[in-house]
Chains A and B, each alone.
Chain A
Amino acid sequence: MIELLGDEDVAVMEIDGFAHPLSAVYRRRTLPHVEDLLAHDRLRPVFLFDLVRTRRVTPAEMSDVDPQLLTLRNLNTPEDYREALAIAGLGDGT
């Protein structure tokens, strides 16, 4: 993702129109825009992507490092947790 950033401000994966802002790369120069959004209660990361130069990364571009997109998996429920442990080969997590 860092390599894909190039000269732009943000590199973020986008799948089916959904951006994944938590596994993205941001340049520090985006910080004033972030502060400005927060000051106006505009809390969604996608607002930032419209303000700065954003490199939308496709799953195909990540296929060499993460073909199954495991880096984007959610882990919100006990079921997600069990699945993540199984994928990591850790069984019951101990």
Chain B
Amino acid sequence: MVNRNQGSGTRALIDRLLQGVRPAGYAVQPRNHHAVAAAIVQHRADWGVTLDTIARNAGLGFLPLREERYDFVVPRSRAHRPAVLAVQETADRAVHARGVGAHGHEGADVTAGGIVLCGGRSRRMGSPKALLPFGGETMLQRVVRLLGTVVSPIAVVGAPLQSLPDLSADVIVTFDDREGRGPLRGSARGTHRASRQRRDRVRHELRCPALRSGLLAEDDRAPRR
């Protein structure tokens, strides 16, 4: 193989995929994508990880491993340079070409996260609703799992010191610092936490996402249905 330099995103991906395996060539660590392609073209290695465009331009075969998201960062003082404008225009066109909703829920995934408010007091239930069994999982696990099929990331907002069931590692968990401040407070907190991880998202709260699961936050004002 031909590797990539420590600190590159590609190297992080390679290490994740190899899970500790060290194939011959692991120590060869060029600093850019072109050098990876060159190593294959010149038969110094059988394989390496690089971008599809780089591989194709070098006339190489390519097996897709995953899509990655890149942030385009530019100093404001250079924002009006022709090259920067050209990149921006290309990116805009690509976004429009994909179109929100054009691929079913895929489009929605890109822009919408979910917030699950589970800090209700469960007064009338008599036991914590988040922990109620619901088909081999707890109600909170079910809501998070099903909501996660539509939006990402998911933030779960609990009451101070509330105990929650195990949730998958990519779920953002946070606890309100004040009790009894209602859903606006909880959703604001969840949004702040989620925003730290991803920007430009729509906040999406679901009372009972899974058509067949349950409501986690109490709302005494809404009519019973």
Contacts and interface: CB of A to CB of B under 8 A. Distances in A.
Interface of A: 1-3, 5, 15-16, 18, 20-28, 30-31, 34-35, 37-38, 43-45, 48, 66, 69-78, 80-81, 84-85, 87-90, 93-94
Interface stretch (B4-12, B16-24, B57-65, B210-218): B210-218
Interface of B: 100-101, 108, 111-112, 117, 124-126, 129, 132-136, 139, 181-185, 187-188, 191-192, 195, 200-219, 221-225
25 contacts: A2-B100, A18-B223, A21-B205, A22-B117, A22-B205, A23-B206, A24-B205, A25-B203, A26-B203, A26-B204, A31-B188, A31-B192, A34-B187, A34-B188, A37-B184, A45-B183, A48-B184, A71-B208, A75-B125, A75-B208, A77-B125, A80-B215, A88-B135, A93-B133, A93-B135
Nearest to B182: A43
B217 A22 contact: yes
B187 A74 contact: no
Contact of A2 (B108, B218, B223): B108
